Chains A and B, each alone.
With several copies, the nearest count.
Chain A
């Protein structure tokens, strides 16, 4: 029972399919179950799901829980509503990638002085504004991010060179609105920065 629940818990918690080997990996060596055992338990979990809203399916890279397709039309309505607003952190990250590309996450963090959340990078990738174009050959091989053609298209730019150059950007008065001005110089966070 415990074995089965641990496997079930892992499949629910992982955000991606898990292979049999990965499932074995959640156990310490001394009580790691055999492959056959894991496979058997997966079968049991699959049977348990029969009357329920989800199913445990095997895809190319392993097993994952998915919502049974008969329920997808309801569930999809969760996303039909309001778009989320982009936060300050996302905008800044995007700006740094645009100007400093190709840039690693560490480089972005260096400029911003704050850690960059995985969610932000994922959102930018999902929107297809940013993509990984390679890995830097330093320990850890961090991904190198760059902007895409879709990014240029969205903002009606021919090339990145159409963005104002860095040297002049600081001197441009982008928005005369006083309250924006106030909040630029001193780095004091204001409501505007809340995501």
Chain B
């Protein structure tokens, strides 16, 4: 839809008669600068929320929504969003279709004998809007209730005894592996949560190096302090890889006085 020409047409003639009163002005809130639209859409919790906003903002009665008018405004938003090629949640389109359906059903002439048993096509929508609105309010109420660590604080006193036999639960390694499998599978769905498939022994060595550096009173430690002769060539390689990794993550600094001399490691401190 070409929005600008559409606006012009709308502005020249009374837009609508709402409860008998002509409506000349385009609601101010209808036009939104394109760059604000994205922010705007994010502030809505879905199509029902957007509809409620449209209704409330014009002081319309939820029980007597002018469906045609609201439908039109709603669809205008959707068009604006689509023109901007914003990714639109499917729910918004479903609502647009539902509104269009209500609109078309209301336009159809009714046969006299249907009138009794056929429900007003707006009823279902109004029910949904009302239902949503009451929970929206309930959510605000819950948010306003006094809450621990925001409005209320526990008053405690420390129990000082040598040792409480606080029993701790037993767990099996398998349980942890299962938990991790679960995280992995979940994370795999999102490409940006790439989990690096590194060799664990390198990760472990990274921890050890940081630990040793943290506990050491020396400013620098030599490469050799991080593995023992017993670990052989493997130990040296793992240590070397761990140091490269820590270096890459900016956690340590590596210093070498001259070529082929010993490599010194120091933790990065701001």
Chain A interface (Cβ < 8 Å from any Cβ of B): 9, 12-13, 15, 53-54, 64-67, 69, 72, 75-76, 79-86, 88-89, 91-92, 94-96, 98-102, 110-115, 127, 133-134, 136-138, 141, 144, 146-147, 153-157, 159-161, 163-170, 172-175, 177-187, 189, 191, 194-195
Looking at A101, A138, A163, which has the most chain B CB atoms within 10 Å of its CB?
Answer: A163
CA distance A67 to B148 in the complex (A): 10
Contacts of A89 in B (CB 8 A): 45
Which of the segments B10-18, B32-40, B222-230, B256-264 contacts the partner chain? Answer: B10-18
Chain B interface (Cβ < 8 Å from any Cβ of A): 1, 6, 9-10, 13-19, 45-49, 62-64, 66-69, 72, 89, 91, 95, 106-107, 109, 120, 122-123, 126-128, 130-143, 145-161, 164-169, 171, 173-190, 193, 195-201, 203-204, 206-207, 210-211, 213-214, 249-251, 267-270
Whether B214 pairs with A169 at a CB distance below 8 angstroms is no
Q: Which listed residue, A96, A98, A134, touches B210 by the CB 8 Å rule?
A: A134
Whether B185 pairs with A86 at a CB distance below 8 angstroms is no
Contacts of B207 in A (CB 8 A): 101-102, 133, 146-147
Q: Which listed residue, B126, B160, B183, touches A112 by the CB 8 Å rule?
A: B183
Whether A91 pairs with B154 at a CB distance below 8 angstroms is no
Contacts of A170 in B (CB 8 A): 62-63, 130, 181, 184-185, 188
Q: Report whether over half of chain B's contact residues are helix, strand or loop; otherwise say mixed.
A: helix
Whether B67 pairs with A127 at a CB distance below 8 angstroms is no
Given contacts A185-B10, A187-B186, contact A163 B200 (CB under 8 A): yes
Closest to A77 in B: B164
Closest to B192 in A: A110
Contacts of B188 in A (CB 8 A): 170
Contacts of B251 in A (CB 8 A): 102, 134, 136-137, 144
Closest to A119 in B: B186
Contacts of A79 in B (CB 8 A): 164-167
Q: Which listed residue, A13, A111, A169, A179, touches B69 by the CB 8 Å rule?
A: A179
Given contacts A94-B139, A156-B148, contact A183 B180 (CB under 8 A): no
Contacts of B135 in A (CB 8 A): 92, 95-96, 99, 111-112, 166
CA distance A133 to B211 in the complex (A): 5
Additional pairs, 20, CB under 8 Å, beyond known A66-B153, A99-B195, A114-B47: A13-B158, A15-B156, A66-B157, A69-B146, A76-B153, A85-B169, A91-B178, A102-B206, A134-B210, A146-B211, A159-B201, A160-B203, A161-B201, A169-B130, A170-B130, A170-B184, A174-B126, A179-B68, A184-B68, A185-B6
